[in-house]
Amino acid sequence: MKVAFQGESGSYSEEAVIKYFGKEAEPIPRKTIPAVFMSVEAGEAEAGVIPVENSIEGGVGESYDSLLTTSLKVVGEINLRISHCLIGVEGATLEGLKRVVSHPQALAQCRAYIASLGLEPVSHYDTAGAVRYVKELGDKTVAAIASARAAEIYSMTILARGIEDYGRNYTRFLVIGRGEARRAPKEKTSIIFTLPHRPGALYEALGAFAKRGINLTKIESRPTRARPWQYNFYVDFEGHVTDEVVREALSDLATKTILLKVLGSYPAWMDPSHEL
């Protein structure tokens, strides 16, 4: 099964692909998150895996924006423990470093550690790609932040492990596909809606869930870009779109919104390690 992901071999997104689909999956690297969507829409991949939020740094705006415009469905989710390593070329030392390269999210998750070493942070489009870049550069004063797996893949040296500022560091990924997800014992649904700009609009919208006892697990707002200071709301909640109580809530919500889009219902992630 071909599964598109953003980044290069050794990235956390590729780890999420393997964790969800197993080692028999064929991960297909793409440069950007929109390119992951395009690959699945075009049939180049059967599914895609995209990061949507990190437990330290919050939501991934590019993923949320792409979900608004796609015809694809959310069919699954993965919670992945993120443990960052400082990675350099052979012979590099902590004392000799001047710059560190990685994805902006990884740099932000290790902000205090980077500051403690007095390093200059440099953004790169991907964590594993940063490791490959440092290897090609061959400069002992430059290191990358990525996974231990990326260091192994590119035959690089791990200078420090577990350098994230907070130990319970997780990234949530969504699985996107062209069809509907299978039913499961525990399910979630993701939606997007836009509200009229008036007092109490969000309160009334969320009331459609509250009065029916539906538990919201996530709410995120993003600018609509069509009009200043107007927002799209991304909401995850427990239940399946075919459940009677969920159908009633969505029907109620539709009367209060300008736009309502159901992204999909899918099995809620059950972490086998019970880490969360």
Q: Is 173 a catalytic residue?
A: yes
- Which of 5, 21, 173, 237 is catalytic? The answer is 173
User: How would residue 227 be classed by pLDDT, with cut points 50, 70 and 90?
Assistant: confident
The total of other beta-carbon atoms located within 10 Å of residue 145's CB is 29
- Among the listed ranges 17-26, 53-62, 84-93, which one has the minimum average pLDDT value? 53-62
- Please report, for the chain, the start and end positions of each structural domain, with discontinuous segments joined by +: 2-82+169-177, 85-161, 187-267
- Which of 171, 189, 194, 257 is catalytic? The answer is 171
Is the domain defined by 85-161 classed in CATH 3.40.190.10? Answer: yes
Topology match between the domains 2-82+169-177 and 85-161: yes
CATH number of 2-82+169-177: 3.40.190.10
User: How would residue 24 be classed by pLDDT, with cut points 50, 70 and 90?
Assistant: very high
Q: Is 37 a catalytic residue?
A: no
Q: Which CATH class, in words, describes the domain spanning 187-267? A: alpha beta
Q: What integer is the mean pLDDT of 3-24?
A: 95
